[in-house]
Chain A
Amino acid sequence: MPRTLLLIGTRKGAFFLESNDRKTWELHGPFCEGWPVYHVIHDPTSGAVYAAAASEWHGQAVWRSADLGETWTHSSEGIAYDTEAGRKISKVSTLAISDGRLLVGVEAPGIFESRDEGQTWSLLSTLAGQPGSETWDDPSNQPPGHLGISALMFDREDADRFWAIVQGVGLFETSDYAQSWTPRNRGLRADWPREHEEVGFCVHKLVRSPVDGDRMYQQNHVGMHRSDNAGETWTEITDGLPTEFGFAAVTHPHDRDTFYVIPLDPGHGRTMPEGHAAVWRTRDAGSSWQSLDTGLPQRDAHVGVLREAMAVDSDDAPGLYFGTSTGQVFASRDEGDTWAQIADYLPSISSVEVVTIA
Protein backbone atom coordinates (compact mmCIF):
# COMPACT_ATOMS: atom_id res chain seq x y z
CA MET A 1 0.00 0.00 0.00
CA PRO A 2 1.44 3.41 -0.87
CA ARG A 3 2.40 5.70 1.96
CA THR A 4 1.38 9.33 2.05
CA LEU A 5 3.89 11.74 3.48
CA LEU A 6 3.20 15.38 4.29
CA LEU A 7 6.31 17.56 4.39
CA ILE A 8 5.63 20.45 6.72
CA GLY A 9 7.75 23.57 7.14
CA THR A 10 7.20 25.51 10.36
CA ARG A 11 8.53 28.44 12.30
CA LYS A 12 10.45 25.92 14.42
CA GLY A 13 11.75 23.24 12.10
CA ALA A 14 10.35 20.76 9.62
CA PHE A 15 7.98 17.91 10.45
CA PHE A 16 6.63 14.94 8.49
CA LEU A 17 3.19 13.38 8.85
CA GLU A 18 3.02 9.82 7.55
CA SER A 19 0.02 7.61 6.81
CA ASN A 20 -0.76 4.31 5.14
CA ASP A 21 -4.45 5.03 4.71
CA ARG A 22 -4.77 8.84 4.87
CA LYS A 23 -6.87 8.36 8.04
CA THR A 24 -4.34 7.81 10.82
CA TRP A 25 -1.17 9.83 10.84
CA GLU A 26 2.17 9.57 12.62
CA LEU A 27 4.23 12.67 13.28
CA HIS A 28 8.01 12.72 12.73
CA GLY A 29 10.34 15.55 13.68
CA PRO A 30 11.21 18.25 14.40
CA PHE A 31 13.96 18.34 11.80
CA CYS A 32 16.45 21.03 10.77
CA GLU A 33 17.38 21.79 14.37
CA GLY A 34 14.35 23.98 14.88
CA TRP A 35 15.38 26.56 12.29
CA PRO A 36 12.54 28.55 10.74
CA VAL A 37 11.69 26.52 7.62
CA TYR A 38 9.91 28.34 4.82
CA HIS A 39 9.48 25.64 2.21
CA VAL A 40 10.00 21.88 2.04
CA ILE A 41 9.95 20.03 -1.29
CA HIS A 42 10.49 16.49 -2.54
CA ASP A 43 12.54 15.55 -5.60
CA PRO A 44 10.69 12.71 -7.28
CA THR A 45 13.78 11.72 -9.26
CA SER A 46 16.22 11.24 -6.39
CA GLY A 47 13.76 10.86 -3.54
CA ALA A 48 15.54 13.58 -1.60
CA VAL A 49 13.79 16.18 0.51
CA TYR A 50 15.00 19.79 0.53
CA ALA A 51 14.11 22.48 3.06
CA ALA A 52 14.74 26.22 2.73
CA ALA A 53 15.52 27.56 6.17
CA ALA A 54 16.99 30.65 7.77
CA SER A 55 18.31 30.79 11.31
CA GLU A 56 18.34 34.13 13.10
CA TRP A 57 21.81 33.24 14.36
CA HIS A 58 23.42 31.08 11.71
CA GLY A 59 21.98 32.49 8.50
CA GLN A 60 20.22 30.81 5.61
CA ALA A 61 20.80 27.32 4.26
CA VAL A 62 19.16 24.65 2.18
CA TRP A 63 18.84 21.40 4.09
CA ARG A 64 18.76 18.00 2.37
CA SER A 65 17.71 14.56 3.50
CA ALA A 66 18.22 11.58 1.19
CA ASP A 67 16.49 9.16 3.56
CA LEU A 68 13.18 10.87 4.30
CA GLY A 69 14.35 12.62 7.41
CA GLU A 70 16.65 10.06 9.03
CA THR A 71 19.74 12.17 8.35
CA TRP A 72 20.23 15.71 7.11
CA THR A 73 22.96 17.86 5.62
CA HIS A 74 22.87 21.58 4.95
CA SER A 75 24.74 24.09 2.85
CA SER A 76 24.71 27.71 1.80
CA GLU A 77 28.02 27.55 -0.06
CA GLY A 78 27.63 30.09 -2.87
CA ILE A 79 24.30 31.54 -1.74
CA ALA A 80 25.65 35.07 -1.43
CA TYR A 81 25.72 38.25 -3.43
CA ASP A 82 28.94 40.01 -4.36
CA THR A 83 29.66 42.15 -1.31
CA GLU A 84 30.68 45.08 -3.51
CA ALA A 85 27.14 45.24 -4.88
CA GLY A 86 25.89 46.01 -1.39
CA ARG A 87 23.10 43.42 -1.53
CA LYS A 88 22.46 41.06 1.31
CA ILE A 89 20.48 37.87 1.58
CA SER A 90 18.09 37.88 4.50
CA LYS A 91 16.18 34.71 3.72
CA VAL A 92 15.95 31.71 1.43
CA SER A 93 12.25 31.48 0.88
CA THR A 94 11.24 29.10 -1.88
CA LEU A 95 12.53 25.99 -3.66
CA ALA A 96 11.91 24.24 -6.97
CA ILE A 97 13.57 21.27 -8.65
CA SER A 98 13.50 19.77 -12.13
CA ASP A 99 15.90 17.59 -14.07
CA GLY A 100 18.61 17.87 -11.43
CA ARG A 101 18.36 21.66 -11.33
CA LEU A 102 17.62 22.82 -7.80
CA LEU A 103 16.60 26.46 -7.48
CA VAL A 104 16.19 28.61 -4.42
CA GLY A 105 14.58 32.04 -4.41
CA VAL A 106 15.94 34.56 -1.94
CA GLU A 107 15.50 38.00 -0.43
CA ALA A 108 16.80 40.45 -1.79
CA PRO A 109 15.36 39.19 -5.08
CA GLY A 110 17.48 36.57 -6.73
CA ILE A 111 17.54 32.95 -7.80
CA PHE A 112 20.43 30.64 -7.03
CA GLU A 113 20.91 27.21 -8.60
CA SER A 114 22.61 24.01 -7.54
CA ARG A 115 23.56 21.16 -9.87
CA ASP A 116 25.08 18.98 -7.13
CA GLU A 117 22.08 18.27 -4.91
CA GLY A 118 22.42 21.43 -2.86
CA GLN A 119 26.08 21.12 -1.91
CA THR A 120 27.18 24.24 -3.80
CA TRP A 121 25.25 27.10 -5.34
CA SER A 122 25.71 29.88 -7.86
CA LEU A 123 23.69 32.95 -8.76
CA LEU A 124 21.39 32.24 -11.70
CA SER A 125 19.46 35.50 -12.02
CA THR A 126 18.38 38.65 -10.25
CA LEU A 127 15.91 39.49 -13.03
CA ALA A 128 18.00 42.60 -13.61
CA GLY A 129 16.64 44.84 -16.33
CA GLN A 130 13.02 44.05 -15.70
CA PRO A 131 10.84 47.16 -15.38
CA GLY A 132 11.46 48.81 -12.02
CA SER A 133 14.13 46.34 -10.94
CA GLU A 134 16.56 49.19 -10.32
CA THR A 135 14.50 50.16 -7.29
CA TRP A 136 13.91 46.71 -5.82
CA ASP A 137 16.67 47.22 -3.23
CA ASP A 138 15.33 50.61 -2.15
CA PRO A 139 14.29 50.25 1.51
CA SER A 140 11.23 52.42 0.86
CA ASN A 141 9.99 49.88 -1.68
CA GLN A 142 9.93 46.91 0.66
CA PRO A 143 6.57 45.21 1.11
CA PRO A 144 5.84 43.47 4.43
CA GLY A 145 8.29 40.64 4.82
CA HIS A 146 10.79 42.32 2.47
CA LEU A 147 10.91 42.08 -1.29
CA GLY A 148 12.16 38.78 -2.61
CA ILE A 149 11.46 35.83 -4.86
CA SER A 150 8.45 34.30 -3.18
CA ALA A 151 7.75 31.38 -5.54
CA LEU A 152 9.28 29.40 -8.40
CA MET A 153 7.49 26.92 -10.64
CA PHE A 154 9.12 24.75 -13.32
CA ASP A 155 7.44 23.70 -16.53
CA ARG A 156 6.86 19.96 -16.28
CA GLU A 157 8.20 19.21 -19.76
CA ASP A 158 10.95 21.77 -20.26
CA ALA A 159 13.48 22.47 -17.49
CA ASP A 160 14.62 25.64 -19.28
CA ARG A 161 11.20 27.14 -18.71
CA PHE A 162 9.97 28.34 -15.35
CA TRP A 163 8.01 31.09 -13.66
CA ALA A 164 9.09 33.32 -10.78
CA ILE A 165 7.04 35.58 -8.53
CA VAL A 166 8.76 38.73 -7.33
CA GLN A 167 6.92 39.77 -4.21
CA GLY A 168 4.88 42.91 -4.74
CA VAL A 169 6.08 43.21 -8.36
CA GLY A 170 4.50 40.40 -10.34
CA LEU A 171 4.92 37.18 -12.26
CA PHE A 172 7.75 36.57 -14.74
CA GLU A 173 8.44 33.73 -17.17
CA THR A 174 11.68 32.54 -18.65
CA SER A 175 11.96 29.99 -21.44
CA ASP A 176 15.76 30.05 -21.72
CA TYR A 177 16.69 29.18 -18.15
CA ALA A 178 16.78 32.74 -16.81
CA GLN A 179 18.77 34.28 -19.67
CA SER A 180 15.74 36.46 -20.44
CA TRP A 181 12.43 37.17 -18.74
CA THR A 182 8.95 38.25 -19.75
CA PRO A 183 6.45 39.82 -17.32
CA ARG A 184 3.22 37.79 -17.27
CA ASN A 185 0.75 40.13 -15.62
CA ARG A 186 -1.62 41.26 -18.38
CA GLY A 187 -5.20 41.44 -17.22
CA LEU A 188 -4.41 41.39 -13.51
CA ARG A 189 -6.17 43.91 -11.33
CA ALA A 190 -4.20 46.35 -9.19
CA ASP A 191 -5.92 48.89 -6.96
CA TRP A 192 -2.92 51.16 -6.68
CA PRO A 193 -0.88 53.43 -8.95
CA ARG A 194 1.88 51.70 -10.89
CA GLU A 195 4.96 53.18 -12.52
CA HIS A 196 5.26 50.48 -15.18
CA GLU A 197 2.49 48.96 -17.26
CA GLU A 198 3.82 45.40 -17.09
CA VAL A 199 4.61 45.16 -13.37
CA GLY A 200 3.44 46.38 -9.97
CA PHE A 201 1.10 43.49 -9.15
CA CYS A 202 1.03 41.60 -5.90
CA VAL A 203 0.96 37.96 -6.95
CA HIS A 204 0.63 35.67 -3.95
CA LYS A 205 0.37 32.18 -5.45
CA LEU A 206 0.56 30.61 -8.91
CA VAL A 207 -0.62 27.09 -9.76
CA ARG A 208 -0.97 25.20 -13.01
CA SER A 209 -3.27 22.38 -13.96
CA PRO A 210 -1.48 19.03 -14.27
CA VAL A 211 -3.82 18.03 -17.10
CA ASP A 212 -3.71 21.26 -19.11
CA GLY A 213 -0.52 23.30 -19.09
CA ASP A 214 -2.30 26.33 -20.50
CA ARG A 215 -4.62 26.52 -17.50
CA MET A 216 -3.22 28.53 -14.60
CA TYR A 217 -4.79 30.09 -11.56
CA GLN A 218 -3.42 32.72 -9.27
CA GLN A 219 -4.42 34.22 -5.97
CA ASN A 220 -3.14 37.72 -5.64
CA HIS A 221 -3.58 40.63 -3.29
CA VAL A 222 -6.79 41.74 -4.97
CA GLY A 223 -8.50 38.76 -6.43
CA MET A 224 -8.47 35.33 -7.96
CA HIS A 225 -7.45 35.14 -11.59
CA ARG A 226 -7.42 32.47 -14.29
CA SER A 227 -5.29 32.13 -17.41
CA ASP A 228 -6.10 29.90 -20.37
CA ASN A 229 -2.81 30.58 -22.16
CA ALA A 230 -0.14 29.75 -19.57
CA GLY A 231 -0.07 33.20 -18.05
CA GLU A 232 0.03 35.37 -21.15
CA THR A 233 -3.29 36.97 -20.16
CA TRP A 234 -5.42 36.79 -17.03
CA THR A 235 -9.14 37.06 -16.25
CA GLU A 236 -10.47 37.82 -12.80
CA ILE A 237 -12.70 35.14 -11.22
CA THR A 238 -13.20 36.55 -7.73
CA ASP A 239 -17.01 36.84 -7.84
CA GLY A 240 -18.59 34.42 -5.39
CA LEU A 241 -15.70 34.28 -2.92
CA PRO A 242 -16.05 35.84 0.55
CA THR A 243 -12.90 37.93 0.12
CA GLU A 244 -10.56 38.77 -2.70
CA PHE A 245 -7.48 38.07 -0.58
CA GLY A 246 -5.58 34.91 0.31
CA PHE A 247 -2.43 32.96 -0.26
CA ALA A 248 -2.88 29.21 -0.53
CA ALA A 249 -4.25 27.58 -3.68
CA VAL A 250 -4.13 24.20 -5.40
CA THR A 251 -5.42 22.73 -8.64
CA HIS A 252 -7.31 19.46 -8.96
CA PRO A 253 -4.95 16.75 -10.24
CA HIS A 254 -7.40 15.39 -12.84
CA ASP A 255 -9.77 18.23 -13.75
CA ARG A 256 -8.58 21.49 -15.30
CA ASP A 257 -11.68 23.38 -14.16
CA THR A 258 -11.48 22.46 -10.48
CA PHE A 259 -9.40 24.57 -8.20
CA TYR A 260 -9.23 25.32 -4.45
CA VAL A 261 -8.43 28.47 -2.52
CA ILE A 262 -8.56 29.66 1.09
CA PRO A 263 -9.86 33.23 1.26
CA LEU A 264 -8.57 35.36 4.13
CA ASP A 265 -9.44 38.75 5.53
CA PRO A 266 -7.26 41.27 3.68
CA GLY A 267 -6.50 43.49 6.68
CA HIS A 268 -3.80 43.03 9.24
CA GLY A 269 -5.36 39.87 10.62
CA ARG A 270 -5.14 37.85 7.42
CA THR A 271 -7.16 35.05 8.98
CA MET A 272 -10.26 33.18 7.84
CA PRO A 273 -13.27 35.52 7.63
CA GLU A 274 -15.35 35.75 10.82
CA GLY A 275 -13.36 32.93 12.39
CA HIS A 276 -15.15 30.41 10.16
CA ALA A 277 -12.69 28.00 8.58
CA ALA A 278 -13.42 27.04 4.99
CA VAL A 279 -11.75 26.00 1.78
CA TRP A 280 -13.49 27.20 -1.37
CA ARG A 281 -13.75 25.16 -4.56
CA THR A 282 -14.75 25.93 -8.10
CA ARG A 283 -15.64 23.13 -10.52
CA ASP A 284 -16.25 25.45 -13.46
CA ALA A 285 -12.98 27.39 -13.73
CA GLY A 286 -14.14 30.16 -11.44
CA SER A 287 -17.66 30.85 -12.68
CA SER A 288 -19.04 29.73 -9.32
CA TRP A 289 -17.59 28.84 -5.92
CA GLN A 290 -18.60 26.43 -3.16
CA SER A 291 -17.64 26.69 0.52
CA LEU A 292 -16.22 23.45 1.90
CA ASP A 293 -16.33 23.55 5.69
CA THR A 294 -17.67 20.20 6.90
CA GLY A 295 -15.31 19.07 9.63
CA LEU A 296 -13.55 22.42 9.88
CA PRO A 297 -14.08 24.72 12.88
CA GLN A 298 -17.19 26.80 12.27
CA ARG A 299 -16.47 29.55 14.78
CA ASP A 300 -13.63 31.18 16.73
CA ALA A 301 -11.04 29.85 14.28
CA HIS A 302 -8.91 32.91 13.64
CA VAL A 303 -6.28 31.08 11.66
CA GLY A 304 -4.26 32.00 8.62
CA VAL A 305 -2.90 29.78 5.86
CA LEU A 306 0.25 30.84 4.06
CA ARG A 307 1.30 30.66 0.40
CA GLU A 308 2.79 27.18 0.38
CA ALA A 309 0.63 25.71 3.13
CA MET A 310 -1.94 23.80 1.06
CA ALA A 311 -1.29 20.69 -1.03
CA VAL A 312 -3.22 18.10 -3.04
CA ASP A 313 -2.26 14.51 -3.83
CA SER A 314 -2.98 12.73 -7.12
CA ASP A 315 -5.15 9.90 -5.82
CA ASP A 316 -8.30 8.99 -7.80
CA ALA A 317 -10.18 10.68 -4.96
CA PRO A 318 -7.67 13.43 -4.34
CA GLY A 319 -6.64 14.24 -0.80
CA LEU A 320 -6.27 17.86 0.22
CA TYR A 321 -4.17 19.13 3.09
CA PHE A 322 -3.55 22.50 4.67
CA GLY A 323 -1.59 23.79 7.64
CA THR A 324 -2.41 26.84 9.70
CA SER A 325 -0.59 29.70 11.31
CA THR A 326 -1.61 28.20 14.66
CA GLY A 327 -0.15 24.75 14.04
CA GLN A 328 -3.07 22.60 12.97
CA VAL A 329 -3.09 20.38 9.90
CA PHE A 330 -6.43 19.52 8.27
CA ALA A 331 -6.96 16.83 5.65
CA SER A 332 -9.72 15.76 3.28
CA ARG A 333 -9.92 12.38 1.52
CA ASP A 334 -12.89 13.28 -0.67
CA GLU A 335 -11.79 16.26 -2.74
CA GLY A 336 -12.57 18.71 0.03
CA ASP A 337 -16.14 17.66 0.79
CA THR A 338 -15.27 16.71 4.38
CA TRP A 339 -12.28 17.49 6.56
CA ALA A 340 -10.56 16.15 9.67
CA GLN A 341 -7.85 17.63 11.84
CA ILE A 342 -4.81 15.34 11.66
CA ALA A 343 -2.28 17.30 13.72
CA ASP A 344 -2.25 20.06 16.31
CA TYR A 345 0.22 21.94 18.50
CA LEU A 346 2.80 22.29 15.74
CA PRO A 347 4.63 25.59 15.39
CA SER A 348 3.20 28.10 12.94
CA ILE A 349 3.10 26.35 9.56
CA SER A 350 4.79 27.85 6.49
CA SER A 351 4.46 25.07 3.95
CA VAL A 352 2.80 21.72 3.27
CA GLU A 353 3.76 19.37 0.44
CA VAL A 354 2.35 15.91 -0.12
CA VAL A 355 4.34 12.95 -1.44
CA THR A 356 2.97 9.52 -2.31
CA ILE A 357 5.56 6.80 -1.87
CA ALA A 358 4.94 3.48 -3.55
Chain B
Amino acid sequence: MADVHLPSTLSPLFPGLPRQLDVQADTVGELIDQLEREWPGLRNRLCEPGPMIRGHIHVYVNQERAKLDTPVAEQSRVDVIAAISGGAGPGHLAP
Protein backbone atom coordinates (compact mmCIF):
# COMPACT_ATOMS: atom_id res chain seq x y z
CA MET B 1 0.00 0.00 0.00
CA ALA B 2 1.14 3.53 -0.69
CA ASP B 3 2.53 5.54 2.19
CA VAL B 4 0.45 8.74 2.14
CA HIS B 5 1.38 11.94 3.97
CA LEU B 6 -1.24 14.69 4.27
CA PRO B 7 -0.83 18.39 5.05
CA SER B 8 -1.41 19.78 8.52
CA THR B 9 -4.19 21.98 7.13
CA LEU B 10 -6.27 18.98 6.03
CA SER B 11 -6.46 16.66 9.03
CA PRO B 12 -8.32 19.09 11.33
CA LEU B 13 -11.12 19.34 8.77
CA PHE B 14 -12.09 15.66 9.08
CA PRO B 15 -12.45 13.94 12.43
CA GLY B 16 -10.16 10.92 12.64
CA LEU B 17 -8.14 11.75 9.55
CA PRO B 18 -4.46 11.09 10.39
CA ARG B 19 -1.50 12.93 8.90
CA GLN B 20 -0.07 9.64 7.64
CA LEU B 21 -1.89 6.54 6.43
CA ASP B 22 -1.55 3.60 4.07
CA VAL B 23 -3.85 3.51 1.03
CA GLN B 24 -4.30 0.88 -1.69
CA ALA B 25 -4.75 2.63 -5.05
CA ASP B 26 -3.46 2.50 -8.63
CA THR B 27 -3.49 6.26 -9.28
CA VAL B 28 -3.53 9.50 -7.32
CA GLY B 29 -7.16 9.99 -8.33
CA GLU B 30 -8.08 6.56 -6.98
CA LEU B 31 -6.21 7.30 -3.79
CA ILE B 32 -8.25 10.46 -3.26
CA ASP B 33 -11.43 8.48 -4.03
CA GLN B 34 -10.48 6.00 -1.30
CA LEU B 35 -10.04 8.82 1.20
CA GLU B 36 -13.33 10.38 0.07
CA ARG B 37 -15.19 7.16 0.89
CA GLU B 38 -14.04 7.29 4.49
CA TRP B 39 -14.05 11.07 4.91
CA PRO B 40 -16.83 12.49 2.70
CA GLY B 41 -16.03 15.95 1.39
CA LEU B 42 -12.29 15.42 1.37
CA ARG B 43 -12.11 15.31 -2.42
CA ASN B 44 -13.47 18.86 -2.63
CA ARG B 45 -10.70 20.06 -0.36
CA LEU B 46 -8.00 18.65 -2.67
CA CYS B 47 -9.64 18.87 -6.09
CA GLU B 48 -11.66 21.37 -8.05
CA PRO B 49 -14.14 20.77 -10.86
CA GLY B 50 -12.62 19.12 -13.90
CA PRO B 51 -11.61 17.27 -11.84
CA MET B 52 -8.10 18.50 -11.23
CA ILE B 53 -5.91 18.99 -8.21
CA ARG B 54 -6.41 22.43 -6.67
CA GLY B 55 -3.91 25.07 -7.71
CA HIS B 56 -2.28 25.42 -4.33
CA ILE B 57 -2.31 21.72 -3.49
CA HIS B 58 0.72 19.83 -4.78
CA VAL B 59 0.90 16.05 -4.89
CA TYR B 60 4.19 14.21 -5.24
CA VAL B 61 4.63 10.48 -5.91
CA ASN B 62 8.12 9.42 -4.94
CA GLN B 63 9.12 13.10 -4.99
CA GLU B 64 7.86 13.65 -8.54
CA ARG B 65 5.04 16.17 -9.10
CA ALA B 66 1.88 14.19 -9.84
CA LYS B 67 -1.56 14.64 -11.40
CA LEU B 68 -4.74 12.68 -10.77
CA ASP B 69 -3.82 10.06 -13.37
CA THR B 70 -0.28 9.55 -12.10
CA PRO B 71 0.24 5.86 -11.20
CA VAL B 72 0.77 4.87 -7.59
CA ALA B 73 2.68 1.67 -6.83
CA GLU B 74 2.62 -0.65 -3.85
CA GLN B 75 5.62 0.95 -2.19
CA SER B 76 5.07 4.52 -3.36
CA ARG B 77 5.39 7.45 -1.02
CA VAL B 78 2.74 10.07 -1.73
CA ASP B 79 3.12 13.55 -0.28
CA VAL B 80 0.21 15.96 -0.41
CA ILE B 81 1.45 19.50 0.20
CA ALA B 82 -0.38 22.72 0.93
CA ALA B 83 1.88 24.78 -1.29
CA ILE B 84 3.44 28.04 -0.25
CA SER B 85 0.80 30.60 -1.03
CA GLY B 86 1.98 33.88 0.34
CA GLY B 87 0.62 37.38 0.19
CA ALA B 88 -2.89 38.67 -0.10
CA GLY B 89 -4.90 37.96 -3.20
CA PRO B 90 -6.99 40.61 -4.93
CA GLY B 91 -9.97 39.66 -2.81
CA HIS B 92 -8.10 40.72 0.29
CA LEU B 93 -6.61 43.88 -1.15
CA ALA B 94 -9.97 45.34 -1.91
CA PRO B 95 -11.90 47.22 -0.87
Contacts and interface: CB of A to CB of B under 8 A. Distances in A.
Interface of A: 11, 33, 36, 55-59, 61, 74-77, 80-81, 83, 88, 90-91, 107, 143-146, 247, 270, 304, 306
B95 A270 contact: yes
Contacts of B91: 90-91, 107, 145-146
Contacts of A33: 9, 12-13
B10 interface: yes
Contact of B94 (A36, A81, A144): A144
Given A59-B48, A61-B45, A144-B94, 17 more contacts: A33-B13, A55-B45, A56-B56, A56-B85, A56-B89, A57-B54, A58-B45, A58-B57, A76-B44, A80-B48, A80-B49, A88-B49, A91-B91, A144-B93, A145-B93, A145-B94, A146-B90
A304 B46 CA distance: 34
B82 interface: yes
Contacts, number: 66
A75 B56 CA distance: 19
A81 B9 contact: no
A176 B90 CA distance: 34
Contacts of A146: 90-91
A247 B95 contact: yes
21 contacts: A11-B92, A33-B12, A33-B13, A55-B9, A55-B45, A56-B56, A57-B56, A57-B85, A58-B9, A58-B57, A59-B54, A74-B41, A75-B41, A88-B48, A88-B49, A90-B91, A91-B91, A107-B91, A144-B94, A145-B90, A145-B95
Interface in B55-92: 56-57, 82-83, 85, 89-92
The 7 nearest A-B residue pairs measured at CB: A144-B94, A145-B94, A58-B45, A57-B82, A80-B49, A83-B49, A56-B85
B94 A57 contact: no
B16 interface: no
Nearest to B85: A56
B35 to A, nearest CB: 13
Give the contact-size bracket for chain B: 20 to 34
Contacts of B50: 83
Contacts of A75: 41, 44
Interface in B1-22: 7, 9-10, 12-13
A143 B91 CA distance: 10
A75 to B, nearest CB: 6
Nearest to A266: B95
Most buried by B among A83, A88, A247: A83
B41 to A, nearest CB: 6
A144 B92 CA distance: 9
A77 B9 contact: no
A57 B95 contact: no
Contacts of B9: 33, 55, 57-58
A236 B88 CA distance: 35
A74 B10 CA distance: 12
Contacts of B41: 74-77
B92 A36 contact: yes
Nearest to A38: B91
Contacts of A58: 9-10, 13, 45-46, 54, 57, 82
A11 to B, nearest CB: 7
B68 to A, nearest CB: 14
Contacts of B85: 56-57
Given A56-B85, A58-B9, A306 B44 contact: no
